[in-house]
């Protein structure tokens, strides 16, 4: 029996490794995309007099890391065969983190 065939919560170690790699990749790509988009929006906002683009740039700049991390974990977990209950917990935590992020933006 190979080490990658060992099962944890119904998934092999290889499946968990793939899910983790997907989550890390989604997180890193999300941070890069956020940085590129923020730079473009700020450059555009300097040329206009409207406040809407400034507001959008400010919101994007104040985006916390935990919703991005939880989104990445959620996407990574979709490749696993999880029971309905843990999957639902992951979805609820993701929704709560998005609501919490909205609270930070509103403050």
pLDDT at 32 over 70: yes
Per DSSP (E only), the strands in the chain are: 7-8, 11-12
Range 18-23 average pLDDT: 96
pTM of the model: 0.76
- More reliable by pLDDT, 104 or 32: 32
Measured CA to CA, the distance from residue 34 to residue 28 in angstroms comes to 10
Q: Are 76 and 19 in contact (CB under 8 A)?
A: yes
In sequence order, which residues have a C-beta less than 8 Å from that of residue 37 and are 6 or more positions away? 60
pLDDT at 101 over 60: yes
Measured CA to CA, the distance from residue 102 to residue 97 in angstroms comes to 9
Residue 16, pLDDT score: 92
Residue 63, pLDDT score: 84
Q: How far is CA 21 from the centre of its chain?
A: 13
Residue 1, pLDDT score: 56
């Amino acid at each position: 029996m190979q080490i990658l065939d060992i099962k944890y919560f119904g998934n092999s170690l290889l499946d968990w490794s793939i899910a983790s790699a997907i989550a890390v990749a989604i997180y890193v790509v999300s941070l890069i995309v956020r940085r590129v988009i923020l730079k473009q929006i700020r450059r555009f906002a300097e040329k206009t007099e409207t406040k809407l683009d400034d507001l959008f740039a400010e919101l994007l700049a104040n985006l916390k890391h935990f919703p991005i991390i939880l989104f990445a974990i959620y996407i990574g977990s979709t490749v696993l065969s999880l029971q309905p209950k843990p999957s639902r917990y992951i979805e609820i935590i993701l929704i709560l983190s998005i609501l919490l992020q909205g609270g930070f933006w509103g403050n």
